[in-house]
Homo-oligomer: A and B are copies of this chain.
Amino acid sequence: MTTISDVAKEANVSVATVSRVLNNHSSVRPETYERVYKAIEKLSFEPNMSARNLRRNETRVILIVAPNITNPYYAHILSGIGDAASEYGYSALIFNTNGEETREKESLDMLKKKKADGAILLSIDIDSLWLKEYADKYPIVHCSEYTKDLNIPKVSIDNYKASLDVMEYIISLGHKRIATITSSNNYISTHERLEGYKDSLEKHGINLKEDYIASANADYSFKSGKAAAYKLLQGENRPTAIFCISDTIALGAIIAAKELGIKVPEDLTIIGFDDVDDTTMFHPYITTISQPCYDIGREAFKILFGIINKGKDNKKVVLPHKFIIRESSAPIS
């Protein structure tokens, strides 16, 4: 059987240090934590968890709070969180809230009840000020979406900048009648992408037309994206480009265009967001913004781990996005 001494030897630290790591003393440096945990993993060392948990009042469980986990956008984020959690000896459990505030609170009440050590919130309304009460007391990290006016640590891309990138590209192709399909949800990413859309038009002296802004459902569903595109494409003076804030919406827009006999990209440029598998399902493959989802997930766990073990942190991490040009966009004809 592996002993605590074996772990100390493997990690090249003292037994006391291993013990401090196991008991989450705040005096251990993160690098040392990591080295010791790797040794624990490697040697399959199992401290007497239940006794330790009682003593330390820790669960080694973290919660991932998500509104609708079958959204393909979450796949790699969940892998990133799950892999990192597992490396550090934590179980990452997902709490599916359907986007309901009652369930979001219910999930965080588990922190109160000491059933989890911390939580990563995947999507939360921009104005969820009720979160403050929890974030002041418990380890909480925002991942992708975040509340605007609370000082809670977070990981995301720069959605505003990504939106500007998309719009600069569309405008550089010569388009002037540019529409957008946004979402009826209240996420910061939705707000910032719409701001980017509006600010780009203004910067280039293109008048904003309210009827060029359509909205899909809160969950970015294919059907609602398609319906929104129908509305845009059947109006007068229809747009020659549509910036969709998700790939699934973009897919809906492509199908709508197809049914209406409008050719993509010859007569209509369509851009998506996220780079999920849907983008290369069929031709035209979708031009889109790619997010480093796996890394976003890993980073969120690491920040949470830091807070759980070292206390408060207000880290704000912004990871880079990429713009991927495929087949659904073309210069104005």
Listed in ascending order, the chain A residues whose CB lies under 8 Å from chain B are 49-50, 53, 59, 61, 63, 68-72, 74-75, 78-79, 82, 86, 91-96, 98, 103, 106-107, 110, 113-115, 221-223, 251, 255, 258, 277, 281-282
Contact = CB atoms under 8 A, between A and B. Distances in A.
Count of chain copies = 2
A85 to B, nearest CB: 10
B114 A91 contact: no
A229 to B, nearest CB: 13
Contact of A70 (B71, B103, B114): B71
B94 A107 contact: no
A70 B274 CA distance: 15
Nearest to A97: B82
Contact of A82 (B96, B255, B277): B96
Given A78-B69, A114-B50, A222 B91 contact: no
B94 A94 contact: yes
Nearest to A83: B98
Given A70-B74, A71-B70, A74-B70, A61 B115 contact: yes
B50 A78 contact: no
A142 B68 CA distance: 23
B70 A72 contact: yes
Given A69-B94, A258-B282, 17 more contacts: A50-B114, A68-B75, A69-B69, A69-B70, A69-B78, A70-B71, A70-B74, A70-B75, A79-B98, A82-B96, A91-B95, A91-B107, A92-B96, A93-B94, A221-B277, A222-B281, A251-B281
Contacts of A106: 86, 91
A93 B255 contact: no
A227 to B, nearest CB: 13
Contacts of A53: 113
Nearest to A251: B281
Contacts of A71: 70
Contact of A281 (B75, B95, B98, B255): B255
A255 to B, nearest CB: 5
Contact of A49 (B94, B95, B113): B113
Contacts of A74: 70
Contacts of A93: 63, 93-95
9 contacts: A63-B93, A68-B75, A70-B70, A79-B98, A82-B96, A91-B107, A115-B115, A221-B277, A222-B277
Contacts of A282: 255, 258
Nearest to A79: B98
Contacts of A91: 95, 106-107, 110, 115
A293 to B, nearest CB: 11
Contacts of A251: 281
A103 to B, nearest CB: 8
Nearest to A283: B259
B75 A113 contact: no
A252 to B, nearest CB: 8
Nearest to A282: B255
A78 B281 CA distance: 26
A53, A78, A96, A110: most-surrounded residue (chain B CB, <10 A): A96
